[in-house]
Structure 1
Amino acid sequence: MFDTVLVANRGEIALRITRTLRRLGIRSVAVHSDADAGARHVREADVAVRLPGGYLDADGILAAAAATGAQAVHPGYGFLAENAAFARRCAEAGLVFVGPPPEAVEAMGDKIRAKATVSAAGVPVVPGGAEPGDDLAEAAVRVGFPALIKPSAGGGGKGMVLVRSAAELPEALASARRTAAAAFGDATLLIERFVENPRHIEIQVMADAYGGVIHLGERECSLQRRHQKIVEEAPSPLLDAATRAAMGAAAVEAARSVGYTGAGTVEFIVQGATGDYYFMEMNTRLQVEHPVTELVTGLDLVELQLRVAAGEPLPLTQDEVRLDGHAVGARVYAEDPSRGFLPTGGRVLALREPPGVRVDSGLMAGGLVGSDYDPMLSKVIAWGPDRAAALRRLDGALAATAVLGLPTNIAFLRALIGHPAVVAGDLDTGLVERHLGELVPHGGVPSVPADVLAAAALVLHREHVPAVSAVSAVSSVSSGVPADPWDVPDGWRLGEAAWTVYRLETRDGVSELRVRGLPASGAEVRLPEADAVRARLADEGGDVLVTLGETARRYAVARDGDTVWLGRDGDAWALTRRHLGDPGDRTGAGGPGDGQVRSPMPGTVLVVKASQGERVVEGQPLLIVEAMKMEHTVTAPVGGVVAELRVRAGQAVAMDAVLAVVRGEEP
């Protein structure tokens, strides 16, 4: 076994690998980009080395391995995990690449070649066409619509585009080609028949260098949005023992066909109505969703990877693999469901991660989530003796999770795993899109509950009270005269106590609340268009407990200047205090009709499709903004003339930054 291993990755997967290295007594070496210099995976490793060129800096990684005495490199997933050239360079440098042989990476990393290889081994594949031999427009007609365009290299759903007609094909091919070239360095595409509403089921395989190949059961990964997995579980509620054995045998044959070693995942699409299954691709690495397999098998897949890479045979046979209970995992993303799931960013002001379940996380309080990398922040994974128990535990764990400082999808995840179709196990890859209106209610803009408004006002009022008291105390000491009872900040006045007014701005507007009294001993809160309610605020383990009337709720709380962040039940709200006349006060400001074109997310302007002075129609594409390898087309909010164009291609922009202004036509 190795004594030092370099982990060529970041975030939660780097931390997860480091955890196993520490348990095995192996020294861990972290690498990092300049943006990640203070990241958690850097802090928790035994040694950390800066990469001058970022995580794709192969020269920097090899130099770091040599400088730290590492014998092996674990690539995690993404970045260099499926890069055959990097695997060869590791071997040339005398390093063990913790993954399959370069030839297997090449055979399965190229989806076109992979389909041909496994088809020859007798594994069923989806009909389609591929470059360079096929004209994709002709192949699309042959395959029929709807069809799915995919990058030949890479994975993770990036660059996949669904086309439903020939008219959509040119723009879809251009978009997929751009993403493929940017994400994987290879613009080659293929097109396949799109199987409507299939199940997405993948088989985990492990292979050693002595011909031993086993599978560790399946994972159900049908809950997806835009081809990105959101929730995964093991085992699948669809498969019976016979189908599991047949698909597992097919996955083992696919691995054998390329001389595979190490951990890999063979992905299938399954027609739920018939049970027919087709090979889709093989990921020649550890998968994001591997924890659910670990929880039901009791195996540490990273340890198995390391032992196989060190030359050991697999420690078990297929007959010894046992599946115990059920596991469900949910991916926490830095994204805003109310804005079409666009990537977000910001500093983590406060963090609460749940006890009693597995949490694979790269988060830490004070850490910065930028737009340089994938928006996945963490995974919350729960085990139960059966599926219903696992879902209940996962829901409770998500409710106890709070990430304050940036929008996340946690509340959406709770809504999804509680949906009747999900609870019943009636899953397919189109479920999320079909039920999006139920999962993201209120027309996309979340309403702020009354108790959250009241809690924010009480937090502000409690901070206001000591400030007023301190001024009064200083005045008393300097003058030698006792503090004026009129200055006691409880709002008491002759006749009736005075109210302090707080104007709180949220995504759905500005609300005015009034508070009087002392929050710790009892106050009154008057919500808009409502009677006053008795309230109390108390500290509780770093959070605050707010009693409003007869109801008590606990909130995670954080401050960012004039903004109060509150988290409850997996949801989070940002409420900003405004004063009349403040530059930031948007009361009465125009909406989409004001012609301002704002960036929907922090990112980079990829393409500018319009020019200043150009006449445009409402909904016409003006720019493409890219963040975290996702593209978003920004359109004209009104018809008119592009009066201002404030950005250029390649420019970094913040969320809500004004990109352009369209002046509407005079009536």
Structure 2
Amino acid sequence: MLFDRVLIANRGEIAVRIARTLRGLGITSVAVHTPSDAAARHVREADVALQVPSYLDGEAIVGAALESGAQAVHPGYGFLAENAGFARRCSAAGLVFVGPPAEAIEAMGDKIRAKATVSAAGVPVVPGGAEPGDVLAEWRDFPALIKPSAGGGGKGMVLVRSAAELPDALESARRTARAAFGDGTLLIERYVENPRHIEIQILADAHGDVVHLGERECSLQRRHQKIIEEAPSPFVTPETRARMGAAAVEAARAVGYVGAGTVEFIVDGTTGAHHFMEMNTRLQVEHPVTELVTGLDLVALQLRVAAGEPLPFGQPDVRLDGHAVEARVYAEDPARGFLPTGGRVLLLREPGDQGSAATGQTVVRVDSGLVEGGVVGSEFDPMLSKVVVRAPDRAAALRALDRALARTAVLGVVTNIPFLRALAAHPAVRAGELDTGLVERVLPGLLPAVEAPQEVLAAAALVFHAMPQGDDPWQVTDGWRLGERAWTTWRLQSRDGVHAIQVRGLPEESAEVRIGDETVPARIRRDGAGLAVTLGGRGEHYLCVRHADTLWLGRDGASWTFTRHLIGDPGDRPGAAAAGDGVVRSPMPGTVLLVKAQVGDRVSEGQPLVIVEAMKMEHTVTAPRDGVLSELPAQAGRPVDMDAVLAVVTAEEA
């Protein structure tokens, strides 16, 4: 018998997604939230909501579950999803943990133990070594990959290509492992050049049945973080799928697995040989692509298995129909080295769920934790939503993904949507010629331009021209005078500098804009919450919102910001000081993790000074020139805003 009430021990898009299935099953959903998350979307969409100090406070979450009358706890992914102690605490309190047994979590959560366990079951593994012992310091088989034993999601993984790089790499990986997982134990493996990252979704019940649901291709990664995933893989043949699926099933059986889980493999893109990497004892971020090609609801199946029901189908019943692709929308700025961003969501447009696989239609699905007016901060992971599509074939799916991303707008927060569109359109991606190093190799061609296109500048100037400038009739900018109307010059500040754009006339009726040497007719009209701007006979649709002195302009998934630049303004953004002035500023909002120098130290250009952490990412800020560290406002453990001064390096002669 299924549960009546389930607590969701998570937040964001996965909490919203779990609540959707609970609603469909007629089960009451209970959300938990921290004080800063009280107005979050997952709280609004749950039937009941209770406050906890932290999403990592297992005692408080168990207490909330008991207080709410929940019978089970679904952990989603991240936070406590792979915490064996939390699973045991739930069981001790009489709650069902919607996940595998604690013993299976422990066996697969420790990568060292996991490799030994599956190897004994006959599953091929990548050659490597692990702590305790001196194997890491003495390793000489390069290139190699260092991993936190207790980790997941690519956090703390460091690629090392020589013995000279090893000491610093071990220090960085161990620091990240301790901060992210509370365990600094590391392992090292031979790095497979140009590999494909392919994973197998498995399901197991408490009655001894285990099935796999085919594979997902997860090779499009940057710094070991997945970006775009798809199912099935364009590389895997039915024979390879059967072999990898059987290996995944054996890996699950080896630890007495129950529930939904994923076995990840590194696959040689030339020979097709596969090696076990790790098992994720939880739902995966990319599970929707499997759902769309199998027609199964993995969360519903998790709940049924947790309630003691047997799997309702066997391996011969599993069918993969069509092709699905998922893109992860992050609060990050690709043009600034993918630094985390944040801010208030001033205007939100997401393509609604549509289509039906049963009728052969293209399916669009958005799993999102965003809400208009909500604040994206730096304390949580930067993933905001997932745009997922399913079509009859891979080429159609990629085209549908591009259209869906173009219809997504998050004004107020810089996102990676233009980068996602460029990646999905890359010829190698279209051809299915993927490996985990592809994104880094072609990265320069995928980054959006910092400079705003001329037509975007013109549209921004037209919007400013149309906005009331005050109650004084002499402030009206329509350029009226005897004879013909005068031109009004708008000086707009954007991230790439100051631009002078000339506009005249009334934008709602008839206006003109000078774009370079060309004068084009222009018109603006309201279109819901957005603005439709016509330039020179070309229809261009823009979404527009103004917050304080900043204008956000969005189109086709991209966004730009502009402010008015008045005569006499300095013309530089706060963080755009030249390297020659010696001022070191924070490239993102976050927390100072480590200060690596002291006032009075002689430093050289490029020397690491401060490490800033935001959204579980580290960024090393370096000295902009040779000199002496004369000021050091940065302090470890203290929060900093974007463009805050961290240090000042003064030339020695000064």
Q: Shorter-chain TM-score: which interval? A: over 0.9
Query: Shift in Å at residue 441 of structure 1?
Result: 5.4
2:266 to 266, 269, 273: 269
Structure 2: which amino acid aligns with 1:47? Answer: V
Query: Shift in Å at residue 489 of structure 1?
Result: 4.9
Query: Shift in Å at residue 614 of structure 1?
Result: 1.6
Tell whether 2:246 aligns with 1:258: no
Contact 1:510 1:587 in 2 (8 A): no
Tell whether 2:517 aligns with 1:497: no
Indicate the residue corresponding to 2:360 in structure 1: none
Contact 1:578 1:585 in 2 (8 A): no
Indicate the residue corresponding to 1:482 in structure 2: none
Query: Shift in Å at residue 500 of structure 1?
Result: 2.4
Query: Shift in Å at residue 496 of structure 1?
Result: 3.8
Contact 1:265 1:284 in 2 (8 A): yes
1:284 to 269, 281, 285: 281
**1:393-404 correspondence to structure 2 within 5 Å:** 393-404=400-411
Tell whether 2:433 aligns with 1:426: yes
Query: Shift in Å at residue 647 of structure 1?
Result: 1.5
Deviations 1:455-483 (A, max 9, x none): 1111111113xx45x434xxxxxxxxxxx
Query: Shift in Å at residue 589 of structure 1?
Result: 7.2
Compared CA separation, residues 182 and 489, structure 1 to 2 (3 A): closer
Tell whether 2:535 aligns with 1:534: no
**1:170-209 correspondence to structure 2 within 5 Å:** 170-209=167-206
The CA distance in 2 between the partners of 1:458 and 1:488, in whole Å, is: 14
Tell whether 2:73 aligns with 1:73: yes
Tell whether 2:63 aligns with 1:63: yes
Tell whether 2:625 aligns with 1:638: yes
Compared CA separation, residues 581 and 108, structure 1 to 2 (3 A): same
1:452 to 438, 451, 456: 456
**1:100-139 correspondence to structure 2 within 5 Å:** 100-138=100-138
Contact 2:419 2:448 in 1 (8 A): no
Please, which moves more after superposition, 68-77 or 646-655? 646-655
Please, which moves more after superposition, 200-209 or 615-624? 615-624
Tell whether 2:27 aligns with 1:26: yes
Indicate the residue corresponding to 2:644 in structure 1: 657
Deviations 1:149-201 (A, max 9, x none): 00001200000001111111111111111111111111110000000110000
Indicate the residue corresponding to 2:153 in structure 1: 156
Compared CA separation, residues 643 and 588, structure 1 to 2 (3 A): closer
1:596 to 583, 593, 606: 583
Tell whether 2:477 aligns with 1:513: no
Query: Shift in Å at residue 539 of structure 1?
Result: 1.0
What count of residue pairs does the alignment treat as equivalent? Answer: 643
Structure 1: which amino acid aligns with 2:451? Answer: S
Please, which moves more after superposition, 302-311 or 432-441? 432-441
Indicate the residue corresponding to 1:628 in structure 2: 615
Compared CA separation, residues 488 and 13, structure 1 to 2 (3 A): closer
The CA distance in 1 between the partners of 2:618 and 2:475, in whole Å, is: 56
Indicate the residue corresponding to 2:380 in structure 1: 373
Indicate the residue corresponding to 2:12 in structure 1: 11
Query: Shift in Å at residue 423 of structure 1?
Result: 0.1
Output the aligned Cα RMSD: 1.6
What TM-score does the superposition give when structure 1 sets the normalisation length?
0.94
The CA distance in 2 between the partners of 1:365 and 1:50, in whole Å, is: 22
Indicate the residue corresponding to 2:95 in structure 1: 95
The CA distance in 2 between the partners of 1:644 and 1:502, in whole Å, is: 39
Structure 2: which amino acid aligns with 1:149? Answer: I
Structure 2: which amino acid aligns with 1:118? Answer: V
Contact 1:100 1:260 in 2 (8 A): yes
Indicate the residue corresponding to 2:592 in structure 1: 605
Compared CA separation, residues 488 and 302, structure 1 to 2 (3 A): closer
Indicate the residue corresponding to 1:241 in structure 2: 238
The CA distance in 2 between the partners of 1:567 and 1:275, in whole Å, is: 43
SS in 1 for 2:137: helix
Compared CA separation, residues 210 and 346, structure 1 to 2 (3 A): same
Deviations 1:562-602 (A, max 9, x none): 11111111111111212123477559974222211111111
Deviations 1:95-118 (A, max 9, x none): 000000000000000000000000
* Structure 1 portions without partners, runs of 5+: 473-485
The CA distance in 2 between the partners of 1:587 and 1:399, in whole Å, is: 31
Structure 2: which amino acid aligns with 1:260? Answer: Y
Deviations 1:233-278 (A, max 9, x none): 0000001111100100000000000000000000000001000000
Query: Shift in Å at residue 38 of structure 1?
Result: 1.0
Deviations 1:298-319 (A, max 9, x none): 0000000000000000000000
Compared CA separation, residues 148 and 489, structure 1 to 2 (3 A): closer
Indicate the residue corresponding to 1:353 in structure 2: 350
SS in 2 for 1:440: coil
The CA distance in 2 between the partners of 1:649 and 1:59, in whole Å, is: 29
Indicate the residue corresponding to 1:228 in structure 2: 225
Indicate the residue corresponding to 1:554 in structure 2: 541
Contact 1:180 1:187 in 2 (8 A): yes
Compared CA separation, residues 586 and 282, structure 1 to 2 (3 A): closer
Indicate the residue corresponding to 1:483 in structure 2: none
The CA distance in 2 between the partners of 1:311 and 1:588, in whole Å, is: 57
Contact 2:220 2:439 in 1 (8 A): yes
Query: Shift in Å at residue 644 of structure 1?
Result: 1.5
The CA distance in 2 between the partners of 1:215 and 1:585, in whole Å, is: 56
Indicate the residue corresponding to 1:525 in structure 2: 513
Indicate the residue corresponding to 2:359 in structure 1: none
The CA distance in 2 between the partners of 1:507 and 1:269, in whole Å, is: 40
| Percent of residue pairs bearing the same amino acid type | 73
Contact 2:497 2:572 in 1 (8 A): no
The CA distance in 2 between the partners of 1:329 and 1:608, in whole Å, is: 38
Compared CA separation, residues 438 and 618, structure 1 to 2 (3 A): same
1:618 to 605, 617, 625: 605
Tell whether 2:424 aligns with 1:436: no
Contact 1:509 1:587 in 2 (8 A): no
Query: Shift in Å at residue 33 of structure 1?
Result: 1.1
Contact 1:402 1:570 in 2 (8 A): yes
Deviations 1:440-461 (A, max 9, x none): 155xxx1101111111111111
Query: Shift in Å at residue 665 of structure 1?
Result: 4.5
* Structure 2 portions without partners, runs of 5+: 355-363
The CA distance in 1 between the partners of 2:653 and 2:466, in whole Å, is: 50
Please, which moves more after superposition, 423-432 or 630-639? 630-639
Indicate the residue corresponding to 1:411 in structure 2: 418
Query: Shift in Å at residue 59 of structure 1?
Result: 1.2
Query: Shift in Å at residue 321 of structure 1?
Result: 0.4
The CA distance in 2 between the partners of 1:22 and 1:269, in whole Å, is: 37
Query: Shift in Å at residue 493 of structure 1?
Result: 1.1
The CA distance in 2 between the partners of 1:588 and 1:55, in whole Å, is: 34
SS in 2 for 1:264: strand
Query: Shift in Å at residue 660 of structure 1?
Result: 1.1
Contact 1:579 1:585 in 2 (8 A): no
The CA distance in 2 between the partners of 1:458 and 1:50, in whole Å, is: 46
